[in-house]
Amino acid sequence: MKFSVYRYNPEKDAAPYMQDYEVKLEATDKMLLDAIVRLKEQDDTLAFRRSCREGVCGSDAMNINGRNGLACTTAVKDLSEPVELRPLPGLPVIRDLIVDMSQFFKQYHSIKPYLINDTPPPEKERLQSPEDREELDGLYECILCACCSTACPSFWWNPDKFVGPAGLLAAYRFLADTRDQATSERLDNLEDPYRLFRCHTIMNCVDVCPKGLNPTLAIGKIKEMMVRRAV
């Protein structure tokens, strides 16, 4: 199988370049990650992140043939050759396919991704009705792989100011949680031309999400909450 891989080692290379590889796959190499691991056997200078290899940890997010996705959940048979592998767009490259995710996590932390409730916790747990719990479906499953935010032009332009689809999905996850008491503060935190309203609903995030989530829908619901609060 033919590959064209983005290579960049800032300690040695003056500029990034694409390197071609040809890898002989075994019958058990079903997913792209298997192929990349095979590729690393051939050239151990290639750097990439991986961990769980089953689409749960979000480590091996990369740009595959021009589209963000997880290498471990992308089937080799679905890829056209040469398979072009690049790091996630819009984030600083540390080396080869590894990007610096600090900015992404900074935005995630800025929305306070944890339950805020000042009342004393009950003996067992804070309960929700099944209907209230249902609203959290499609929100809590996010694995923070950054495929969505790094596919978003608004995030490319303003990564320091726009929260990005992943962060906003998480923001709505807590806005939608009936156990959370900081709804108004959370909305105040997002009521900003940059933080929330840089989203122009182009839906690249929905298109690439490897978990099939819909950040655009969540962003729409945040806007709806703001309208309900304001009018």
Partner 1 sequence: MVKREVVGAHYGLIDWLYQRVTALVMVAYTLVLFGVLVANPGMDYSAWRAVFANVPFKLLTFVFLLAVFLHAWIGVRDIFMDYLKPVSLRLTAEILAALALVFYTGWAIHILWGIK
Q: How far is CA 57 from CA 105, 108, 140, 210, 214, in A?
A: 15, 16, 14, 12, 19
CB 143 within 8 A of CB 52: no
Residue 183 binds partner 1 (CB under 8 A) = no
Looking up tokens 């929260």, which residue turns up? Answer: 163
Residue 185 binds partner 1 (CB under 8 A) = no
The continuous run of DSSP H or E covering 36 comes out as helix 32-42
**Using the rule CB under 8 A, which residue among 4, 128, 158, 214 binds partner 1?**
158
Give 74 or 154: the residue with its C-beta nearer to partner 1: 154
Cα–Cα distance, 141 to 208 (Å, whole number): 15
∠ at Cα 59 (190, 105), nearest 5°?
25
Residue 161 binds partner 1 (CB under 8 A) = yes
Residue 114 binds partner 1 (CB under 8 A) = no
Give CA torsion, residues 40, 45, 48, 52, to 10 deg.
50
Cα–Cα distance, 49 to 29 (Å, whole number): 18
Residue 223 binds partner 1 (CB under 8 A) = yes
Shortest Å distance, C-beta 157 to partner 1? 5
**Using the rule CB under 8 A, which residue among 10, 140, 194, 207 binds partner 1?**
194
Residue 112 binds partner 1 (CB under 8 A) = no
Residue 193 binds partner 1 (CB under 8 A) = yes
Residue 192 binds partner 1 (CB under 8 A) = yes
Residue 184 binds partner 1 (CB under 8 A) = no
Give 21 or 155: the residue with its C-beta nearer to partner 1: 155
Cα atoms found within 13 Å of the Cα of residue 75, Cβ hemisphere only: 3
Residues from 137 through 156 that contact partner 1 (CB under 8 A): 154
Under the rule (CB under 8 A), what is the footprint of partner 1? 154, 157-158, 160-161, 188-189, 191-198, 200, 223, 226-227, 230
